[in-house]
Amino acid sequence: MEKIILETKGLTKNFDGLTAVDGVDFQLNEGERVGIIGPNGAGKTTFFNLLTGLFFPSSGKILHGGDRTEDITNTQPYHRVEMGVIRTFQLVSVFNSLKVLDNLVLSNIRFSEDYAVKRKFFFKNIQHPEIVQKCLKALTFMGLEKKATVMTHELSYGDKRKLEIAIALSLEPKILLLDEPFSGLSDVEIEEVLDLIGKIREKFALVIIEHKISRIVDLVQRLCVMHEGKMIANGKPQEVLGDPRVREVYWGKEEGLICSFN
């Protein structure tokens, strides 16, 4: 029997009279790979912000199903990270003033169980062999090990995107939320990242927002479509892409989807 590890019930977010997310019911099973697509302004990133605690909902619930089901609707973002709910952002979010490796080390110290103690000795812990090796492993996996001592601001945009994913992986996610991870990447870099995600996809549940729909059709097991804050379709990728309502929503708006119909 499939185990639900994340669920929303009637999730809604209003901004000054505008409903960005409108009564969304969503379930994510352990180890499942789900894609979320939709036109610009459909509410996809706002939905991620609700799942990760950057926004709190106007109404509805978010339930986290680990060893026991827990209501995390109003849980702070850092507590969700400690639960293994890890995300990347639509715009790359890294520390440009730090070295590449230090980005990972800082994140791992911050979300470790004994952070209250470690923060007093940050410069000592930054050289802690166990932490450093864990972070180097994530950098190596993303092909950035040779740039570990480079200042982050010197990286290309594509490498910063890879660094952000490396940070997320180093935190050992149980649920990994990727918000347009291929944005700003070349075709070669996209293939590299897809290949890497494919190699580790069994280690966690994955939810990915992406406009380059053809890139994720073979990666995800289920595809959800958002439009005007609502989930209008949910199912196997090819079935969803053939849904008349989905085609109507996208036709003439998303070239990537139109191409995928051909």
Compare 262 and 91 and report the one with higher pLDDT.
91
Q: pLDDT tens digits, residue range 217-233?
A: 999 999 999 999 999 99
Residue 96 has pLDDT above 50, yes or no: yes
Tell me the two tokens of residue 167: 């940070």
- Which of 43-52, 158-167, 186-195, 211-220 is most confident? 43-52
Average pLDDT over residues 72-76: 96
Q: State how far the Cα of 14 lies from the Cα of 5, in Å rounded to an integer.
A: 26
Instruction: Please report the pLDDT score of residue 189 as a whole number.
Output: 87
Query: SS3 for 182?
Result: coil
Q: pLDDT tens digits, residue range 97-144?
A: 999 999 999 888 876 655 444 455 444 555 567 888 999 999 999 999
Q: State how far the Cα of 152 lies from the Cα of 159, in Å rounded to an integer.
A: 9
Q: pLDDT tens digits, residue range 1-57?
A: 679 999 999 999 999 989 999 999 999 999 999 999 999 899 999 999 999 999 999
Q: What is the pTM of this model?
A: 0.86
Instruction: Please report the pLDDT score of residue 199 as a whole number.
Output: 83
Average pLDDT over residues 179-202: 86
Percentage with pLDDT > 70 across the chain: 87
In angstroms, the Cα distances linking 95 to 1, 226, 241 are 42, 31, 38
Domains of the chain: 1-78+174-262 (3.40.50.300), 93-172 (no CATH)
Average pLDDT, the chain: 87
- List of residues 6+ apart from 1 with CB closer than 8 A: none
